[in-house]
Amino acid sequence: MAGIRALQMYTHKLIGLAFLAAVGITLLVLGCALEQFNNWWPMFVLIFYLLVPIPTVISRRLSGGYDTASNACVELCIFLTTGIVVSCLALPIVLAHKGTIEPGACGLVTSGSVVVFLTILGYFSVFGNDDFDYSSW
């Protein structure tokens, strides 16, 4: 019975994270597809969405998590993740400054990126701990 209770607890969290990710992607698509913007250049932030969890996954695989004392692998992966996040947030701003996209599209894409990155952070905080067991599913 405890396995079913744990499954229900994680299912609600997973549904919430999926909803937040859908909201973030919707904001990104709105920043590209609305008639007054009609420019698909901001879609390049999807590359950063795919790249951002890779250093964290590598770090947790090689070092066994963030609970241990500081080591070079963990510090490098945190630095790379921060660089990817800052690049993703800066890309629409640079495109708006250059005049490639409208400032409204920049706002929608940046807010969508913030929501998506908070969703990724929430995923790693919920499912990234060591006591979570996939065999209970």
Summarize pLDDT for 114-134 with one digit per residue, the tens: 999 999 889 888 877 655 444
Query: How far apart, in whole angstroms, are the C-alpha atoms of residue 20 and residue 13?
Result: 11
**Which tokens is 111 given?**
């807010």
Question: What pLDDT is recorded for position 136?
Answer: 46
Summarize pLDDT for 26-61 with one digit per residue, the tens: 999 999 999 998 899 999 999 999 999 899 888 877
**pLDDT higher than threshold 90 for residue 20:** yes
HEC string for the chain: CHHHHHHHHHHHHHHHHHHHHHHHHHHHHHHHHCCCCCCCHHHHHHHHHHHCHHHHHHHHHHHCCCCCCCCHHHHHHHHHHHHHHHHHHHHHHHHHHHCCCCHHHHHHHHHHHHHHHHHHHHHHHHHCCCCCCHHHC
Q: Which amino acid is at 49?
A: Y
Domain extents for the chain? 2-132
Question: What pLDDT is recorded for position 72?
Answer: 84
What is this structure's pTM?
A: 0.80
